[in-house]
Amino acid sequence: MLEIATTHGPGRAHHHPAPDPWAALVLGHGAGGGVGAPDLQAATATAVGAGVSVVLTEQPYRVAGRRAPAPARQLDTAWREMLTALRDGWLSGLPVLVGGRSSGARVACRTADDVAASGVLCLAFPVHPPGKGDDPSKSRLPELDGVGVPTLVVQGERDPFGMPPDAPGRAVVRLRGDHSLKGDMPGLRDAVGHWLDQRSRELRPDGR
């Protein structure tokens, strides 16, 4: 575990290295949860098994013991600063994929260009607040649409936060269950593994 100084207080990074990694995957947690969420743990194990080192990050508000998330601007700033520190250390020289669960996925999407991400993995992306699907002003879909690199969204079919559509450069895998994604862990692992295999063909020097 590494503590990383940010403008908004210390964040934390938990390193899960793969032997001879060909890329790294940096993941953020949901608004009220932590890095122990089952979907984050499943994605971590799958990525390490595929030769991708994983870093699970904790935002400063969580490190400080607060459950209520910080404003989006603070989340994005802390994330960018943690990515810079990680690239100067553990992840030096590796292509970096980013992502996260729910709120963490939103942060990864909003900052993908800023951190020069090679891909984005979204677990349970919250398209809109529950019950607000008919209100265009509440949609977070523009955050997804603004990502310019290959993106995977893994979404529960009964997620009250909505279901994003497929789009060029974006695959959406629909699983049994709700926002927790606990209902189909094998399906989640398969989806993440397949996406990483596709990324490896583009990012590995040997094209494997």
* CATH code for position 51: 3.40.50.1820
* Structural domain that includes position 187: 2-62+71-129+140-203
How many domains is the chain partitioned into structurally? 1
C-alpha–C-alpha distance, residues 197 and 6, integer Å: 33
Task: Label residue 208 by pLDDT band (50, 70, 90).
Answer: low
Instruction: Give residue-wise pLDDT tens across range 153-177.
Output: 999 999 999 999 999 999 999 999 9
Q: Please indicate, yes or no, if residue 171 is contained in any of the structural domains.
A: yes
Q: pTM higher than 0.85 for the full model?
A: yes
Q: Please indicate, yes or no, if residue 135 is contained in any of the structural domains.
A: no
Q: Please indicate, yes or no, if residue 41 is contained in any of the structural domains.
A: yes
Instruction: Give residue-wise pLDDT tens across range 74-117.
Output: 999 999 999 999 999 999 999 999 999 999 999 999 999 999 99
Q: Please indicate, yes or no, if residue 134 is contained in any of the structural domains.
A: no
> Tell me, what's the pLDDT at 67?
85
- 9 in Cβ contact with 63 (< 8 Å): yes
Of 90, 89, 114, give the one whose Cα is nearest residue 98.
Answer: 114
Beta carbons within 10 angstroms of residue 5's beta carbon: 13
> How many residues are recorded in the chain?
208
Instruction: Give residue-wise pLDDT tens across range 1-56.
Output: 999 999 999 999 999 999 999 999 999 999 988 999 999 999 999 999 999 999 99
Residue 206 has pLDDT above 70, yes or no: no
Task: Label residue 62 by pLDDT band (50, 70, 90).
Answer: very high
Beta carbons within 10 angstroms of residue 10's beta carbon: 15
Q: Please indicate, yes or no, if residue 42 is contained in any of the structural domains.
A: yes
